[in-house]
Amino acid sequence: MSATEMTPARFLRSVIAIFLKDWRSELRTRYAISALLMFVVTTIAIILFSLGSEGASADALAGMLWVVIFFGAMSGLSRTFVMEEERGTTLTLQLIAPASAVFFGKLLFNLVLVLGLNIVTVLLYAGFITGFVIRNVPVFLVTILLGSFGFAAAATVIAAIIARANTRGTLYPVLSFPIMLPLLLTVINATRLASEGAFFQEAAGEFQILISYIVVVVVISYMLFEYIWKD
Amino acid sequence: MEETLTLSGDGLRKVFNRRTVFENVSFTAGSGSVLLITGRNGSGKSTLVKIISRVLSPTAGSVRFGPGGRETDDPWQTRIGLVSPYLQMFEEFTARENLSIAMRVRGLPFDGARADGLLERVALFPRRNDPVRTYSSGMKQRMKYAFALLHAPHLLILDEPMSNLDEEGVGIVRRIMEEQRSNGILVVATNDLTDIGHFDTQVDLNERH
Amino acid sequence: MAIKILLGVLLTGVVIAGFGFPMSAAPQTWYELPVIPGLEDKARIIFFHVPTAWLSVVAFITSMLYAIQYLRKREAIDDIKSSAAAGLGFMFCILATLTGAVWAKFNWGSYWNWDPRETSIFVLLLIYGAYFSLRSAVEVEEKRATLASVYSIIAAVTSPFFIFIMPRIMTGLHPGAKGDPEGAGPVIEFKMSPNMRVIFFTSLIAFTLLFYWMFTLRVRAARLEAHHHSGG
């Protein structure tokens, strides 16, 4: 046993250190947080303007909530990788961290961002859009939680691809949409069920799909990340 | 147990956009020796440095680093230090924070006293709490030495070691190189032989096309 | 050469039989096709539309398999094969979408209805589109090959989720679907008379051969181009 051997505890410390580095950097620059926040505020304002005094059906409003979240996520979640690429610190990280630790550190960072984004979005959405009613709150909360995990998982690996491709923002939604569509359709359906006041059991199928989606995306990303990350 | 550490490259080839940068590059360097990499611009010095640093995969061939030339189970992130023009610090953080990140991201404990000692050594101690982005290019270059040496790597790789350095900086780096030679293996990529007093093995990339 | 002749014979046969064989309410001879109420002559599309849809999926899987191979071996040829398969898949995907949309206009009244299979083919189109956007965005060949391979694999492992999701959110319109979960799968369960079945499967084989032939042509062309570049 050597002092420098990679143990699970050491791997975990490495993951957390990468997360903390990104988090502190974010607190200093506020780049992603302000982009996300402004995006959510403007999009909800646009929805309010376009709805005017007309209401929309609960179904349509459930769908629109996730449109806001999807494009909000697309505006901020690539930051964690694109930033490293822009500043040339990808190589620095490659030197000091194993690829998989980088992936999980960035995944954790994006998860925190998405959870924050979703909480703010839901609060604003519920506060300002009057037709949006949730009759089964637990179903809705589980949907938001699982949805956040799913978004963070898919957004992180696609962000790594676009950062390494040096294409910045333009390709991000293009590459993400087909990958995230199963997730989007499922969370929209679950939100619709929650807004109709369906029982928890009725949404269980949606939750199963969400959980398996998260597992599949995290596992495949973990397996492929080294290829994306290493030149 | 004290088998000497050996760095060896075997039949290295790198193809980039269908262009062969170099091929048939092989070398061996043991503990206490200096490996010099030379070659004109575009001959692939930095490419070879990145391959030895394990941040770039060769198209063919392999690099091994360990006791008796065998790979160990230790992650190479803890055993390699690199200084190069394309290595960037995390500029929104201070010098001391950068050193802390370097250790913690490796999963190793951060020794503040050692970090301060190193910053003293590269003459950055008074500025240790300023963000790296406020540094001059010479200061950034010295900062990279502290970053590369903090975990006491057995293998120190220097690409253009003296770039941006003034006379004082050159003196600091010479002492660091001298010390590394007695503690482990030193790899230097440069065309300026005044940078380096003595070397044991040379890889000349001009001949490997 | 043999494959070209076989392909010519099979496809000619399928076209003649598919378009030319008469339809009759009570088929008497081997070449008379039964009339399917509600579809009539429109049923003939199955001989051409389904094979194109089938090939867009086959190409998708082929592309993924070569992508895995590329990541394992890092041989440029596997990336050439992967992108060649994807290119053909994209083409067949567009053909399937167009033929399907035109047929839907006549049979279901509008070009697009978001039936599960229409949605699936739409997603496949998006994936192919994203794949080629990614390829054109990366300059360095090795990096392009790696990133495209990774994307192709991620797309391939996430798309099967649609098989579980579609039946929950939409009902099928396609013949053989009848809203049951089985009908949302990529393969159509369609009751055909024996002679229709012969034409249908011959067509599937012929189209698959066509795909294989076009695939080898594309790979050869790309190989020559690559050789030309590195030689020059």
Q: From CA A49, how far away is CA A60, in angstroms rounded?
A: 16
Nearest CA to B74 out of B108, B100, B98 is that of B108
Q: Which tops the pLDDT comparison, A42 or C108?
A: A42
Distance from CA of B57 to the nearest CA of C (A): 11
H or E stretch at A25: helix A8-29
pLDDT number for residue C19: 85
Q: Does C57 have pLDDT greater than 50?
A: yes
Question: Are the CB atoms for B96 and B126 separated by under 8 Å?
Answer: no
The CA radius of gyration of chain B, in Å to the nearest whole number, is 17
**CA distances, C6 to each of A175, C19, C223 (Å):** 39, 20, 25
pLDDT number for residue C113: 84
pLDDT number for residue C114: 84
Nearest CA to B101 out of A95, A135, C22, C194 is that of A95
- Tokens encoding C63: 């592309």
Distance from CA of B188 to the nearest CA of A (A): 17
Q: From CA A62, how far away is CA A132, in angstroms rounded?
A: 7
Q: Which chains touch C (3 or more CB pairs under 8 A)?
A: A, B
Q: Does A2 have pLDDT greater than 80?
A: no
pLDDT number for residue C182: 40
Length of chain A measured in residues: 231
Query: What tens digit of pLDDT does each residue of B10-51 get?
Result: 999 998 888 889 999 999 998 889 999 999 888 899 999 999
Q: Does C96 have pLDDT greater than 90?
A: yes
Q: Does C183 have pLDDT greater than 70?
A: no
Q: A230 — contact with chain C (CB < 8 Å)?
A: no
Q: Does A128 have pLDDT greater than 70?
A: yes
pLDDT number for residue A23: 96
Are B78 and A4 within 8 A, CB to CB?
Answer: yes
Q: From CA A217, how far away is CA A152, in angstroms rounded?
A: 10
Are B17 and C141 within 8 A, CB to CB?
Answer: yes
Angle at CA of residue C113, ends C107 and C117, nearest 5°: 90
Query: What percent of chain C lies above the pLDDT cut of 90?
Result: 46
Chain position carrying tokens 């995006």? A39
Q: Does C187 have pLDDT greater than 50?
A: no
pLDDT number for residue C59: 95
Q: From CA C134, how far away is CA A101, in angstroms rounded?
A: 25
Strands (DSSP E) found in A141-220: none
Question: Roughly how many angstroms between the first and final C-alpha of chain C, as a whole number?
Answer: 31
- Average pLDDT value for residue range C177-203: 65
- pLDDT bin (cut points 50, 70, 90) of residue C42 is confident
- Average pLDDT value for residue range C81-107: 93
Cβ contacts of B113 within 8 Å, gap of 6 or more: none
Mutation pick from B13, B16, B18, B56 vs chain C, by most beta carbons of C within 10 Å, is B18
Question: Which segments of chain B have a pLDDT < 70?
Answer: 1-3, 69, 72-74, 208-209
Residue B23: is it exposed, middle or buried by C-beta count within 10 angstroms (0-12/13-18/19+)? middle
- Average pLDDT value for residue range A65-72: 93
Residues on chain C touching B15 (C-beta within 8 angstroms) = 142
Are A5 and B73 within 8 A, CB to CB?
Answer: yes
pLDDT number for residue A6: 73
Cβ contacts of B76 within 8 Å, gap of 6 or more: B54, B65
Residue A46: is it exposed, middle or buried by C-beta count within 10 angstroms (0-12/13-18/19+)? exposed
Query: What tens digit of pLDDT does each residue of A150-194 get?
Result: 999 999 999 999 999 977 668 999 999 999 999 999 999 999 999
pLDDT number for residue C171: 66
ipTM higher than the 0.90 cut: yes
pTM (whole model) above 0.95: no
Q: From CA A162, how far away is CA A171, in angstroms rounded?
A: 7
pLDDT number for residue C119: 87
Q: From CA A145, how far away is CA B105, in angstroms rounded?
A: 28
When the pLDDT of each residue in chain C is averaged and rounded to a whole number, the result is 86
The CA radius of gyration of chain C, in Å to the nearest whole number, is 20
Backbone angles phi, psi at B80, to 5 degrees: -120, 135
Q: Does C186 have pLDDT greater than 80?
A: no
- Tokens encoding C218: 């594309």
Mutation pick from C151, C152, C162 vs chain A, by most beta carbons of A within 10 Å, is C151
Query: What tens digit of pLDDT does each residue of C118-175 get?
Result: 888 999 999 999 999 999 999 889 999 999 999 999 999 999 998 888 777 776 667 6
With a CB-CB cutoff of 8 Å, which residues 3-42 of chain A face chain B?
4-6, 10-11, 13-14, 17-18, 20-21, 24-25, 28-29
Residues on chain B touching C231 (C-beta within 8 angstroms) = none
Q: Does C231 have pLDDT greater than 60?
A: no
Question: Are the CB atoms for C174 and C117 separated by under 8 Å?
Answer: yes
Query: What tens digit of pLDDT does each residue of A8-61 get?
Result: 899 999 999 999 999 999 998 888 888 888 999 999 999 888 887 777 888 888
Q: Which chains touch B (3 or more CB pairs under 8 A)?
A: A, C
